[in-house]
Copies of this chain bind each other. A is one copy, B any other.
Amino acid sequence: MNNPVITLGEYSDKASLEEKCVMAPKFDDNGLIPAVAMDAETKEPLMLAYMNKQSLLMTLELGEAVYYSRSRQEIWHKGATSGHTQKVKEIRTDCDQDALIIYVEQLGAGACHTGRNSCFYRKVNLDDGKNPAALSFTKSELTFDPNIVYRNK
């Protein structure tokens, strides 16, 4: 027997959206909702991407993060190319249900196409007086070689 098809709710009022327990995500004018993938164990942010309704439903059905690529304008099953899939551990939604946090187990070496575990590998140098504002690397080492992982893809 197949699993029943998952559906999403629809809300008409703010109070229900905020205080009830039906998942009724609010997609923006482009049909997208931002989703922040975080490492379920370390709680470090890995990446911020977007989901459309279809990719969110695929995420719920597969148990793996599926995004919508704005640049390629297509469904993006994270890890389909690199093997670095994200196993979903928990999904949180915010008060007005227009943002998602996805706690994942990041399989393979990393989430970032640059070859790093996290896309958030640089921080802003606060108060250093530089203009324009400068960044520094929090983690610069590569955890995998993108030229190998993505070759011939």
A residues engaging B (CB < 8 A)? 3-9, 18-24, 34, 36, 38, 43-45, 47-48, 60, 63, 88, 90-95, 99, 101, 112-114, 116, 119-124, 126-127, 129, 131-138
Is the CB–CB distance between B133 and A9 below 8 Å? yes
Is the CB–CB distance between B114 and A95 below 8 Å? yes
Residues in chain B near residue A136, CB distance under 8 A: 21
Residues in chain B near residue A114, CB distance under 8 A: 18-19, 95
Task: Determine which residue in A19, A92, A138 has the highest number of CB atoms from chain B within 10 A of its CB, and name it.
Answer: A92
From B6, B48, B134, B135, A34 is in contact (CB under 8 Å) with: B48
Is the CB–CB distance between A94 and B133 below 8 Å? no
Is the CB–CB distance between A8 and B132 below 8 Å? yes
Cβ distance A20 to chain B, nearest Cβ, rounded Å: 8
Is the CB–CB distance between B92 and A131 below 8 Å? no
From B9, B18, B124, A132 is in contact (CB under 8 Å) with: B9
8 pairs of A and B residues whose beta carbons are closest in the complex: A9-B132, A48-B99, A94-B119, A23-B133, A91-B124, A43-B43, A92-B120, A21-B135
* A and B contact pairs by CB, cutoff 8 A, 24 listed: A3-B129, A5-B131, A7-B131, A7-B132, A7-B133, A8-B133, A21-B122, A23-B132, A23-B133, A23-B135, A24-B132, A43-B43, A47-B94, A60-B124, A60-B126, A60-B133, A90-B123, A90-B126, A91-B124, A92-B122, A94-B112, A95-B112, A95-B113, A95-B119
